[in-house]
Amino acid sequence: METGAMLSWTLQQEIPVPPDVHALLAQGEEAITSFKTFRDSATFTTKRLIVRDAQGITGKKVEIYSLPYSSILMWSSENAGTLDWNSEVELWTKAGHIKVKLAKGADVRRIDSLIAWAVLNSH
């Protein structure tokens, strides 16, 4: 069993969907909401989670991750505690294990309900 996360992202506050995300959407797919990440954004759509990751010093090189909800096998969410200020969501997918950390200000229950809605409606 894999112990470390294959990928790890940190979501900050909820933001308007970035305009350039619309070019990434498939026919019939709609953007639901986006969250600021350290260097870019993560967008929940009606079909998948799209994470844009600007790279390099200028941030002009952009890597895009696309995680179809149908590939998520299981997830867990953990709210922040008294001494541990970070919340997190973990996703076990057909491709591997993904850890999503939530910065202060990101609502773990909102993320959890988005994932539940997406996964349970995609299977």
Query: What tens digit of pLDDT does each residue of 29-58 get?
Result: 999 999 998 878 999 999 999 998 887 666
pLDDT band at 71 (very low <50, low <70, confident <90, very high): very high
CB of 9 closer than 8 Å to CB of 88? no
Percent of the chain at pLDDT above 90?
A: 49
If you ran DSSP here, which 8-state letter would residue 83 be given?
Answer: S
Q: What pLDDT, on a 0 to 100 scale, did the predictor assign at position 6?
A: 72
Task: Please tell me the distance from the alpha carbon of residue 107 to that of residue 33, in angstroms, as a whole number.
Answer: 13
Q: What pLDDT, on a 0 to 100 scale, did the predictor assign at position 1?
A: 42
Tell me the whole-structure pTM to 2 decimals: 0.84
Task: Please tell me the distance from the alpha carbon of residue 17 to that of residue 34, in angstroms, as a whole number.
Answer: 5
pLDDT top residue among 25 and 105: 25
CB of 112 closer than 8 Å to CB of 72? no
Task: Please tell me the distance from the alpha carbon of residue 51 to that of residue 49, in angstroms, as a whole number.
Answer: 6
CB of 50 closer than 8 Å to CB of 43? yes
Task: Please tell me the distance from the alpha carbon of residue 114 to that of residue 32, in angstroms, as a whole number.
Answer: 9
pLDDT digits (tens, 9 = 90+) for 82-105: 555 678 899 999 988 999 888 877
